[in-house]
Chains A and B, each alone.
Chain A
Amino acid sequence: MKMKLIAAGMLAFSATAMADAPGGPNCGWGNMLLEGKTGLANHMLALTTNGTSGNATFGMTFGSNGCSVEGPLTYGGDSLVWFDGVLDEYSTAVAMGHGEALEAVAVMMGVQATDRSHFNDVMHENFTSLFPSTEVTSQEVLDNMVVLMSSDEKLQKYVG
């Protein structure tokens, strides 16, 4: 119950921040709210669109899921729409406790090099709470990550 409250609090806080300064430094996790369902199962849909055919995009849009990275969907200047696209690889990396997807998410969240292996361990040890069911959406995984990080002494500074 307490966990849920914290998560809800984080979201509410971030949503306000986003409204105030889209794309700015105060943008938090609320930025991650995406339209549509992006669960593990649906994620595979994105992979069926072969990028080499009819996909002459240039930077600003993400081909397969149609999410724009323009506007508020950024974190520290980088896109977090990104996370949705790597959820599958991320779940495997978390299960193993290492991997490029895990590394990349840590960088994206601003986790310093000195805290990375700790970040990996925390995610790895809590695989089940990060990915509680097959229906989990990327948004929910992120929410779960924030909860985990905010209750960890070393990692809470990155989500505060």
Chain B
Amino acid sequence: MRSQLIALALTSAYYCFFNPLALAADVTAWASKAKQQNLHQEKVWQQLMHYLPSNRSPTGIESQIDDDRYFLAADGKTNPQAELIASIEVLLSPNTKPSNESAHCRFVSRTDWLREQFNLEPMPVPQSCSAYHDWRKIVGSHRMSLVFPASYLNSPSSMFGHTLLRFDSETTDEGSDWLSWSLNFAADTGSEDFSAGYAFKGIAGGYIGKFNSIPYFKKLQEYGAIENRDIWEYQLDFTPTELDRLLDHAWELRDIGFDYYFFRQNCSYRLLELMDYARPGLNLTEQFKLTTIPADTVKAVANAGLINERHYRPSLGTGIQARYQTLPRSQRHWVERIANNPATAQSDKFNALDMNTRAQIARVANDVITYRSRRAKRSPEVAKRRLALLRIISELPVEESEIAEPSAPEIAHDTRTISIGLGRADKLDYKQLGIRWSYHDFLDRSAGYLKGAGIVLGDLRVRRDETGKTQLQGLELVTLQSLSDRALLFRAISWNLSVGFARNEHRLDGRLAGRVGGSIGKSTEILPNTVGYALLGASASQYSRFDEHFADAQVQFGFLHHVKSAVTQFELKLDSQQDESLRKTAFIKHNLPLSRNQALRLSYSWSKIRDDSTEQAQLDYRFYF
């Protein structure tokens, strides 16, 4: 007992040295000063508490944090002042040896800011907050990079991209990024990974989002090897002091649940908030009022002049494709043979090839096995082949072949589009105005996007013909397109899906109908820069009268041809219509970019049903913003 008292006295003395022991009277005085000065309206306080204006809150303000543990006042979520007073009472009262779970150990940024407001000396985070110190020790604050794993084919929820942060310590300079740590904000989806369910719940706000911080190489494995996404890393211009601020606040947010909304308050939005807090006056979040598309946040960071350096990391799949292309055509068949049976490498025929070709073949074969077995537990047979291949590789000189960097996402066209067009259909001239909320279709300039992939949201077209009739021509709510050109070694399928309102000029006087349709099939590179496709599809349409509904089937053949940034699409389509005979359609579309954010699009289509044929031609000027 006595020794405990002495210990207590000693600790108090120790802290008195740094922190004049706050008395109840002091706390009351600070609290009333905070009220007088309306401190709770200070920007930093709003930032730390993640308050935003809100209609559903009685006070008109609400924190986006959906977790009671973050608030020290019972009504802290909607009452910034009450939360501030409660924070003063808890955090400015002395606590000599707080435990890891205590408020003193968690709310380190909040404490710093409060002390600053009342001109108190900054107090180092108590040593007893060992979890904080351990984490800050392993996550370096020397340098920070914004990491953008680009979208990948066949997964609509990845098409908007994703962003996370990477933190390097000083030793990273002389070593490898593999030793760095990541900070990532993600929806806590549990074990679900069904894409449509993910998208729906994400959009509707059904998930809780949390920060997580794990070694960076795990992220490289996840995105680069498993999900097959190319990764862009942008080293940012933040000072170690600013990064200390950022990481301290991130620490406050560990395991804390936020409302997660796919379109705005998503991974990228949270990272911008952290950057805004780290450097006062940056205000990156203010540019994102409605949607936060990860690719757009990369552009915002670039526009703010924050990018020092860019680094491209091709995914496993991209690496395989690129190295496969460098092999002489006549030798490419070896890749499959050696991957399937490494013993073939001992054959005289293989050994007759020059050493570098053999090395490249073995390398690609090894990557192919890794790629194909990456999602499953490797069987003993696969492991054996893999080891045999690595032995072959280890005996051959492998020169690192650099993979050319594609166009970077930050120089891609902007994601909203407005278009003005002139056209002629059914022997009538018309003018057409189009507005597309987001994002990219596969005719748009592909620089910075995945070739052959598209995601279109909210594409509205209004038409006025020479007789003065104005009508809604169509509204695409969601359209997804995926034409894979990676058929060489991968068995990717191509598909498209669309939901919206459209007109069929051959049916019910061309009235507007709700339409859901989709196609699935194969595509392959038939000539350099030309991807040919064959798709089978079905659609359902519903007109305004309840009994006016149709189900149709269709088959499409066509190709996409890229010349520099221009794209041409040609397609032949056969519709078997439920109520009518076969409709034949042929169209050609050509998109010619004039600059990063401007393009001309020309389209011509011809269609025939029984003896009734129609033609349509249109020229659009498109502006992206």
Contact = CB atoms under 8 A, between A and B. Distances in A.
- A joins B in a complex: yes
Interface of A: 40-45, 47-48, 50-60, 62-64, 69-70, 77-79, 82, 85-86, 88-89, 91-92, 94-98, 100-101, 103-104, 106-108, 113, 124, 127-128, 131, 133-134
B138 A44 contact: no
B211 A45 contact: no
A56 B390 contact: no
Contact of B222 (A52, A133, A134): A52
B217 A50 contact: no
19 contacts: A41-B378, A51-B219, A51-B222, A53-B191, A58-B254, A59-B181, A59-B214, A60-B135, A62-B214, A62-B218, A64-B218, A78-B179, A92-B393, A96-B393, A97-B398, A104-B217, A108-B179, A127-B391, A134-B384
A77 B135 CA distance: 12
Interface string B109-122: 00000000000000
Contacts of B184: 52
A44 B369 CA distance: 12
A59 B214 CA distance: 5
Contacts of A70: 134
Contacts of B210: 56
A100 B138 contact: no
Interface residues of B, number: 59
B190 interface: yes
A52 B189 contact: yes
A101 B178 contact: yes
Contact of A50 (B131, B214, B222): B222
Contact of A63 (B214, B374, B387, B390): B214
Given A54-B191, A58-B135, A124 B178 contact: no
Interface stretch (B18-26, B168-176, B235-243, B416-424): B168-176
Contacts of A79: 138, 215
Contacts of A127: 390-391, 394
A62 B255 contact: no
Contact of B375 (A48, A58, A94): A48
A41 B379 CA distance: 7
B213 A57 contact: yes
Given A94-B394, A103-B175, 20 more contacts: A40-B386, A47-B374, A48-B376, A50-B222, A54-B189, A55-B214, A56-B210, A57-B212, A59-B254, A60-B135, A88-B370, A92-B393, A97-B398, A100-B177, A101-B178, A104-B178, A107-B171, A108-B179, A127-B394, A134-B384
B150 to A, nearest CB: 15
Interface string B509-545: 0000000000000000000000000000000000000
Interface string B387-402: 1001101100010100
Given A47-B221, A47-B226, A104-B179, A62 B387 contact: no
Contact of A52 (B186, B217, B225): B186
Contacts of A53: 188-193
Contacts of B177: 100
A58 B255 contact: yes
A57 B214 contact: yes
B139 interface: yes
A106 B174 CA distance: 11
Contacts of B188: 53-54, 56
Contacts of B391: 95, 127-128
Interface of B: 131, 134-135, 137-139, 171, 174-179, 181, 184, 186, 188-193, 210-215, 217-219, 221-222, 225-227, 254-255, 363, 366, 370, 373-380, 383-384, 386-387, 390-391, 393-394, 398, 400
A63 B218 contact: yes
Nearest to A130: B394
Contacts of B212: 55-58
B232 to A, nearest CB: 16
A50 B226 contact: yes
A42 B181 CA distance: 24
Q: Which of B134, B178, B211, B398 has the most CB of A within 10 A?
A: B178
Nearest to B193: A53
A88 to B, nearest CB: 8
Contacts of B222: 50-52
A89 B394 CA distance: 14
A96 B387 contact: no
Given A44-B373, A128-B391, A104 B218 contact: no
A131 to B, nearest CB: 7
B377 A41 contact: yes
A121 to B, nearest CB: 12
A98 to B, nearest CB: 6
A107 B217 CA distance: 14
Contacts of A101: 176, 178
A43 B382 CA distance: 13
Given A50-B226, A107-B176, A95 B390 contact: yes
A40 to B, nearest CB: 6
Contacts of B373: 44
Contact of B377 (A44, A51, A134): A44
A134 B380 CA distance: 8
Q: Which of B131, B175, B225, B370 has the most CB of A within 10 A?
A: B175
B176 A100 contact: yes
B383 to A, nearest CB: 4
B214 A134 contact: no
A42 B255 CA distance: 30
Contacts of B134: 59-60, 70
A50 B214 CA distance: 13
Nearest to B375: A48
A158 B402 CA distance: 32
Nearest to B186: A52
B193 A50 contact: yes
Contact of A100 (B174, B178, B189, B190): B178
A124 B391 CA distance: 10
Given A50-B193, A50-B226, A134-B380, A103 B176 contact: yes
Nearest to A94: B394
A124 B394 contact: yes
B374 A59 contact: no
A43 B370 CA distance: 12
A44 B193 contact: no
Contacts of A124: 394
Given A41-B383, A58-B254, A134-B384, A86 B178 contact: yes
Contact of A113 (B174, B225, B226): B174
Please give me the 6 A-B residue pairs with the lowest Cβ-Cβ distance, nearest first. Answer: A107-B175, A127-B394, A104-B178, A56-B210, A95-B390, A134-B383
Nearest to B400: A98
A104 B134 CA distance: 21
